[in-house]
Amino acid sequence: MAKEKKQSRPRAETPKGFRDYFGAEVDERKQMLDRIAAVYHAYGFDALESSAVETVESLGKYLPDVDRPNAGVFAWQEADDATWLALRYDLTAPLARVYAQHRNDLPTPYRRYAMGPVWRNEKPGPGRFRQFYQCDADTVGSASMAADAEICAMLAETLEQVGIPRGDYVIRVNNRKVLNGVLDVIAPQGTRAADESVRTTMQRVFDSEKRADILRTIDKFDKVGEAGVRELLGKGRLDASGAYIDGVGLDDQQADRVLSFLTAKGDTNEQTLQGLQETVGDSSVGAEGVWELRQIADLLAAQGYGPDRIVIDPSVVRGLGYYTGPVFEAELTFEILDEKGRPRQFGSVAGGGRYDDLVKRFTGQAVPATGISIGVDRLLAALRAKGRIGGTEHGPVVVTVMDRERMADYFQMVGELRAAGIRAEVYLGNPKNFGNQMKYADKRGAPVAVIEGGDEKLRGVVQIKDLILGSKIAENATLEEWKERPSQVEVSRGELVDEVRKMLSAQDG
């Protein structure tokens, strides 16, 4: 009977791949997002909070993980009209829908920022959740490279404002058009013709599948290096596990051209731009890409953003298929220890680029757009690794209950403390066992406990216990310096607030 009852109980579990965030985790993320929002706001970006639910039709198929195009969304069908709805998987697809829907009421260009959870129906793994935060800023309706430069500059300022000092980050900028120019140059004759009618089916395949393959391959530059990419662009290579990975099938000359693009980064932006100019040869789209990068570099240099902060780097690819021009990536350059204790660079915390075709899906009219997305959890992890957040805030002052008939007295105390700006609470569990009250204060991270028993009440005094000092003394009872500071003091009831304040500031000092 008892067993039967137990089985009918629901399990108290978050669904697989989801998690809860408690106390300081929520506060710290909020603090960081508030700082980011303040920068975005100062730059003239307006907040937007679109609905978490979209029609599947309007979300489209732009999931970022090109290697796993089947990775999906959480979707369901409406009962009345069979419309498929889904949770948004990022903040860019909803922005395109919002702009298309409200374009007559919105200013053009429309600068907006958005922060909030997104959902991915993917296989969860360690540290990989199916709900996570994104934080985006985008400019819709401006074709000017000044919009891209502004996004990069704002990203640099944002990183510094949240606590990543100059020198610990670099924003790398590339242009998808330059890559397209390189691919045009190496494409078999005929596939480069602008006139659709002269293209053959085989040639089109080079345009779509081959280009996607090349994109995926050069995105592995960081992992497998120049030699690895060369093999993968050609016949293929044995990977670390011993499996043979098929190559893209370019000939040596073609692979050379791709690699000369990937490694075109020089000591200065000017050198890099010259190298890229050579690589794109006579491709007009390639030349346009180089010209766009030059404008971005010039605008940023004029505002004092040198290549120590924002740099042209052809090895930045960014997987997303929808980018059409400049792409950006913010990387943190300091080292942390990985799970095996080896030092490694922290890596990417934000990425973005220009996507001129997303709004066109809805309206048929091209609407240029560019933007950036910050990986909120990655950036929080970086700030924790640098000791910029976490570990400093105490819990509330806990007023203990010595006499349950005098709850009003204890509430009076926390009222006085709060009025003085001090976080405080009365113990609301069963007060019978005083040890439990102290355990509770410990679990709450309380810095101070207040005690007023019958004897104290009669004498008009309260006991104030320094729990931080108390635990230090408990750890090391011989230290001289702490002997002068008693861990518990008795003061008159009227001095309660002053004494607690004094104790708190001594703890912080």
Please report, as residue ranges, which positions from 300 to 319 form the binding site for a copy of itself (by CB under 8 A).
Answer: 302-303
Give the nearer residue to a copy of itself in terms of CB position, either 100 or 310.
100
Report the DSSP beta bridge partners of residue 465. 449, 488
- Contact positions with a copy of itself (CB under 8 A) in 364-383: 364
Alpha helices in 210-347 (DSSP H): 211-218, 221-233, 252-262, 269-279, 284-302
Element (H, E) at 410: helix 407-419
* Per CB under 8 A, 271 contacts a copy of itself: no
CA distances for 245 relative to 225, 234, 253, 277, angstroms: 15, 11, 21, 32
Other residues' Cβ atoms within 10 Å of the Cβ of residue 341:
6
- CA torsion sign, 101 to 107 to 113 to 116? negative
Token pair listed for 389: 């957040």
Closest CB 350 distance from a copy of itself, rounded Å: 20
Please choose, from the candidates 166, 172, 164, 170, the residue with its C-alpha nearest in 3D space to the C-alpha of residue 380.
164
Give the nearer residue to a copy of itself in terms of CB position, either 47 or 238.
47
CA-CA distance, 28 to 135, in Å (whole number)?
15
Which stretch in 146-154, 275-283, 333-341, 469-477 sits in contact with a copy of itself by CB under 8 A? 146-154
Closest CB 298 distance from a copy of itself, rounded Å: 7
Which stretch in 5-13, 210-218, 272-280, 477-485 sits in contact with a copy of itself by CB under 8 A? 5-13
* Per CB under 8 A, 55 contacts a copy of itself: yes
* Per CB under 8 A, 227 contacts a copy of itself: no
* Per CB under 8 A, 362 contacts a copy of itself: yes
Which stretch in 108-116, 213-221, 482-490, 491-499 sits in contact with a copy of itself by CB under 8 A? 108-116
**Reduced to 3 states, what is the DSSP secondary structure of residue 308?**
coil
* Per CB under 8 A, 88 contacts a copy of itself: no
* Per CB under 8 A, 433 contacts a copy of itself: no
Give the nearer residue to a copy of itself in terms of CB position, either 10 or 343.
10
- Contact positions with a copy of itself (CB under 8 A) in 403-432: 407-408, 411-412, 414-415, 418, 423-426, 428-429
- Contact positions with a copy of itself (CB under 8 A) in 156-185: none
CA 199, distance to chain mean position in Å, is 43
Give the nearer residue to a copy of itself in terms of CB position, either 60 or 247.
60
Please choose, from the candidates 490, 426, 422, the residue with its C-alpha nearest in 3D space to the C-alpha of residue 455.
490
